[in-house]
């Protein structure tokens, strides 16, 4: 994943971390975000969020990603 999606992934994770979100709410809230699906796919593919029924929750990996400084790469592993 390139650096293009990293700020969008960070924004998505910060938004989800603020309060519980349903999957529908996440998809609706990111409807206007371009590119929405690559951001969602990368976020779920790296295990930063998980679906629990109809809810989407940030995972420990997602929290670790948010805690890392933006200028440090995470692609090589956490």
Q: What is the pLDDT of residues 22-40, one digit of tens each?
A: 999 998 877 655 555 678 8
**Is the dihedral angle over the CA atoms 55, 38, 69, 15 positive or is it negative?**
negative
Q: Which domains does the chain have, with CATH numbers?
A: 6-67 (1.10.10.10)
Q: Is 29 helix (H, G, I), strand (E, B) or coil?
A: helix
Q: pLDDT band at residue 65, thresholds of 50, 70 and 90?
A: very high
Residue 51 has pLDDT above 60, yes or no: yes
Tokens found for residue 74: 């995470």
């Amino acid at each position: 994943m390139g650096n293009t999606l990293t700020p969008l992934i960070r924004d998505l994770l910060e938004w989800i971390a603020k309060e519980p979100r349903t999957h529908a709410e996440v998809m609706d809230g990111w409807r206007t975000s371009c590119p929405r699906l690559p951001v969602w796919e990368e976020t779920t593919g790296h295990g930063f969020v998980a679906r629990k029924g109809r809810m989407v929750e940030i995972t420990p990996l997602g929290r670790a990603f948010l805690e890392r400084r933006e200028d440090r790469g995470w692609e090589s592993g956490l």
